[in-house]
Structure 1
Amino acid sequence: MLPPARRLALGLHLPLSLALAPRLRVSSIRRVSALLAVIVALGVFWAAPRHARATGLNVERLRLNPDDDGLHGGLSLGVDFQAGNVNLFDLNTSASVAWRRDAHLLFLIGNSKFATRTKAIDGGTLDGLFEDQARYINRANLHLRYNYDFLDWLTAEAFSQVERDEFLLVASRVLTGAGPRFVPLRRDNLSLAVGTAWMLEYEALDPQRVVSPLPAQTLVHRWSSYLTLMVVHDERVSFRSTTYVQPRFDRLADLRLMSEGELSVELFDPVSIQILAKLRWDTQPSTYCSGDVALDGCASADRVQLRELDVTIENNISVRF
């Protein structure tokens, strides 16, 4: 949840980046300009350079659920730059906007990460930062979701998402789906939410590098379910965990799982730290060709399978004032 109006959240993503995430509760005159700023930010991160298995976006962690009617949103931008023996450029962008009226809630969220690196010991230069071989992260997500609250504990959801990840060979992944969301437990210090949905998924892998699966474009039906747990120990310590499971209806062994856990601890007002752990598991990762593909296909020695499991741990320091 974004910070209250007239409060500014300043996140320090180590080693160096600044993120601004003000909550937008604006007058009708400023509302249009605020919305345009969010849309421009979304367009910037999606237009980042691209050449492009499941990249994954944890909507629950980014979910906007304002209590008040009207327009709400936030922007975030992080830039790391280093020059010398190691040249580095790292760009993180994210934006979110939500509109609520009574039981209706519509929100759009997105984020991207683009990073390049060159080393003097390998002959790399500062000018070479934006050459293809220097790039090692290039991914983006954009998610649109509509909620209708039937009851305090029952919500209908419809969603659509587009994403890409060059280094998971995902040139484009588009999905749409709908289903119910249940909140069986909601207390001051503990909440539990469960969602389940039918999901139609179109995935286009990089045809110049993918060896399997073939064809590189697929259209499948998946069963997407998630569970979110939020525990607030006190005003200083909180924990959130979300797990997604997405098997194919016609091939249950083709399973994708994504789990995130975030621990937030306030050291002293207004400084807090966050520790975020992510796990992504794909039971049927793609196989690609590390060398040039000849007319008769990819040589056996050049065939490399992506790893089934990815694990990420992030540390952040936040200052609010």
Structure 2
Amino acid sequence: MNLSKSGGWVVLVLLLQAGSASAQIVNVQALFDDKAELGPAAAIELGGDWRTGSTQLFSVRGSLVGQIRSERNVWLGVIRGEYSFASGERIVSQVLEHVRYRRRFTDRVSGEAFVQHEYNEFRRLQLRALLGAGPRFVLFNEEATGLTFGIALMVEHERLRKDGEADAGDRYTDPRMSSYLLGRVKLMENIQLVETVYFQPRVTRPSDLRVLNETLFAVTPNPRITVGIGFNLTYDSAPPATVPAMDTQLRTTVGVKL
């Protein structure tokens, strides 16, 4: 969903979540607001579930997104966290921070550089750190449709938690290519479809591949409210021991501009 205009805030409340969500690829491209005014902008996402009775569940999620835009430069920062408990046992615990800088050279060509830190207990990640950079190309950008392609070379460092698994405490430092294709279609005056696909093969072994496919329907009934329905599918060909190779996630959000 788009960030609020300069000086404003957007509150996003999570209404529905299904499937497991422990993706290692983060689609920050969908967080850029290319229509925002010059200067700073920010958004906050909050969500939670509390169930009692036959199902005991408490879950809280949140993220903060900030953007600073000038004529040719954009800085984007993201902080996300999620914690969940079921029947007194912690089932989700993850934190992520991402900072990205974009420099526009022409209307169609720009460059990006980024850093990221991630902790995810239930993917057994004690630490994941990224550093990367590469070009971004606007293939076409019309009123009703748009398509953007980006590719970056990044260095990835992972350290698994020390537990009872065979690969406990393992460390990995690998170069990866990170490419994405971002498409948008204006279905109706106030309905937009945004599709993003990421591919991240390891440079030294391309069969070690990570994929993210994110589909988002965004409905804007009026300028102050946005409703989004999103579905994510992630795949990791070589996940840590006991971690599933594929995850899916369904989310419905409501955004209110204040």
Residue identity matched to 2:38: D
Q: Do the aligned residues in 1 keep the contact of 2:215 with 2:231 (CA within 8 Å)?
A: yes
The structure number with the bigger radius of gyration is 1
Q: Which moved more, 1:231-240 or 1:54-63?
A: 54-63
* Partner secondary structure for residue 112 of structure 1: strand
1:95 aligns with 2:64: yes
Task: State the partner residue of 1:77.
Answer: 46
Rounded to whole Å, the distance in 1 between the matches of 2:67 and 2:173 is 30
The runs of 5 or more residues in structure 2 that have no matched partner are none
Q: Do the aligned residues in 2 keep the contact of 1:57 with 1:141 (CA within 8 Å)?
A: no
Deviations, residues 240-273 of structure 1 (Å, cap 9, x unaligned):
0111111011101100111100112356887664
Q: Do the aligned residues in 1 keep the contact of 2:131 with 2:155 (CA within 8 Å)?
A: yes
Rounded to whole Å, the distance in 1 between the matches of 2:208 and 2:16 is 38
* Partner secondary structure for residue 151 of structure 1: coil
What is the number of residues matched between the two proteins?
A: 253
CA RMSD across the alignment: 2.6
> What TM-score does the superposition give when structure 2 sets the normalisation length?
0.87
Rounded to whole Å, the distance in 2 between the matches of 1:228 and 1:164 is 26
Task: State the partner residue of 1:264.
Answer: 218
Deviations, residues 63-83 of structure 1 (Å, cap 9, x unaligned):
244543322112232233344
Task: State the partner residue of 1:280.
Answer: 234
1:200 aligns with 2:137: no
Q: Which moved more, 1:68-77 or 1:192-201?
A: 68-77
Query: Compared with structure 1, are the counterparts of its residues 62 and 8 closer, same or farther at alpha carbon in structure 2 (3 Å cutoff)?
Result: closer
* Partner secondary structure for residue 211 of structure 1: coil
Rounded to whole Å, the distance in 1 between the matches of 2:57 and 2:169 is 36
Deviation of the 1:88 alpha carbon: 2.6
Query: Compared with structure 1, are the counterparts of its residues 263 and 159 closer, same or farther at alpha carbon in structure 2 (3 Å cutoff)?
Result: same
1:314 aligns with 2:232: no
* Partner secondary structure for residue 108 of structure 1: strand
* Partner secondary structure for residue 166 of structure 2: strand
Q: Do the aligned residues in 2 keep the contact of 1:181 with 1:195 (CA within 8 Å)?
A: yes
Equivalent residue in structure 1 for 2:142, among 165, 184, 187 = 187
Q: Percent identity?
A: 27
Task: State the partner residue of 2:197.
Answer: 243
Considering fraction of residues, name the structure with more strand.
2
Rounded to whole Å, the distance in 2 between the matches of 1:280 and 1:255 is 11
Deviations, residues 276-315 of structure 1 (Å, cap 9, x unaligned):
110110111221xxxxxxxxxxxxxxxxx32211111223
Task: State the partner residue of 1:145.
Answer: 100
Considering fraction of residues, name the structure with more helix.
1
The runs of 5 or more residues in structure 1 that have no matched partner are 17-52, 119-128, 288-304
Equivalent residue in structure 1 for 2:112, among 115, 136, 157 = 157
* Partner secondary structure for residue 14 of structure 1: strand
Pairs within 5 Å for 1:161-180: 161-180=116-135
Residue identity matched to 2:138: V
Query: Compared with structure 1, are the counterparts of its residues 150 and 269 closer, same or farther at alpha carbon in structure 2 (3 Å cutoff)?
Result: closer
